[in-house]
Amino acid sequence: MGAVMFYHLTQRSLAETLRMLVDKSLANGWRVAVRGTNPAGLEALDTALWHGPPDSFLPHGIAGGAHDAAQPVLLGTQATSANNAQCVMAVHNAEVSPDDAATMERVCILFDGHDEDALAHARGQWKALTGAGVKAQYWSEESGRWEKKAEA
């Protein structure tokens, strides 16, 4: 059973944080599914990932293409991913279940600390997941660098 990591974004953008976490996941040899709820938001992330710094190319695609199974990073709205991911990055209030934590090496929940709906959703997910016995960590960047603030 993998851990669920909650990332409370207050300083960096979603795209910047996602890039950092995806880089680390790929370095671990994991395929990544970026799970969102908003197709337009996923398209914006897709564009941001393609236009990142030249020295940090992240091979990825949006679900629904001919080569989904071959993508190291696949962005989509479905609970399952065609790329056989070992890591899920949940964005835009996408749901994460205890089953996700049980079958993945890592689950990351990224949420905007300036959005009250996103904060409420993340709190609800923390309660549901930890209540189901899932190990979780809460990370905050409010000091300007990532710090672990809680663990359950």
Q: How confident is the model over 27-77, as pLDDT tens digits?
A: 999 999 999 999 999 999 999 888 877 777 788 989 998 899 999 999 999
Answer whether residue 16 is part of any domain: yes
Range of the domain at 118: 3-93+108-151
In a domain, 101, yes or no: no
Tell me the CATH number at 82.
Answer: 3.40.50.10110
The answer for residues whose C-beta is within 8 angstroms of residue 151's C-beta and 6 or more apart is 135, 136, 137, 138
Q: Is residue 77 part of a domain?
A: yes
What percent of the chain shows pLDDT beyond 90? 83
pTM of the model: 0.93
Please determine, for residue 117, whether its predicted confidence score (pLDDT) is greater than 80.
Answer: yes
- For 123, residues 6+ apart whose C-beta sits below 8 A from its C-beta are none
103 within a domain of the structure (yes/no): no
